[in-house]
Amino acid sequence: MVSKEHKLSVRRQCALLTLVRSNVYYHPKGESAENLRFMGLIDKQFLQTLWYGSRQMVRHMNRQSHACGGHRVRRLMRLMRLVPIYQEPNISKKHPPHKI
């Protein structure tokens, strides 16, 4: 919506649209080649073990000699929208023989 060729200045256009001017000049960098390689490894392993969360994925990557930290794996799994399938705790249901 903001154009540099418009007769109004970029500052004025941003003020009228209530935008921060730095957002106009921002260009996303994307992921690095190393992160893309890690994402491929995580995706391949996650298809085999759907119950692996970020902690287990970090352990698996370190066992395969891919040095990768927990925060990075968590961020990449969130970026790829990978959510592990796990059994929910069954603590809210009462035990039938136990009388109240």
Asked if 37 and 74 sit in the same domain, the reply is yes
Q: Is residue 55 included in any domain, yes or no?
A: yes
Kindly indicate the confidence band of residue 93, based on its pLDDT and cuts at 50, 70 and 90: confident
State the pTM of this model.
0.68
Domain count for the chain: 2
Looking at the structure, tell me whether residues 20 and 47 fall in a common domain: no
Q: Is residue 84 part of a domain?
A: no
Cα separation, 95 vs 50, in Å, equals: 30
- Same domain? For 24 and 47 the reply is no
87 in a structural domain: no
- Residues near 49 by Cβ (< 8 Å), separated by ≥ 6? 56, 60
Inside any domain, residue 50: yes
Burial string for 10-25 (b: 16+ CB within 10 Å, else e) reads: eeebbeeeeeeeeebe
Measured CA angle at 58 (ends 57, 61), to 5 deg: 85
For residues 45 and 56, state if they share a domain: yes
Q: What is the mean pLDDT of the chain?
A: 90
For 17-39, the pLDDT digits (tens) are 888 988 888 888 999 999 999 99
| 47 belongs to a structural domain | yes
Percent of all residues in the chain with a pLDDT value above 90, rounded to a whole number? 57
Q: Which domain holds residue 41?
A: 33-79
Tell me: do 38 and 22 sit in the same domain.
Answer: no
Same domain, 38 and 26: no
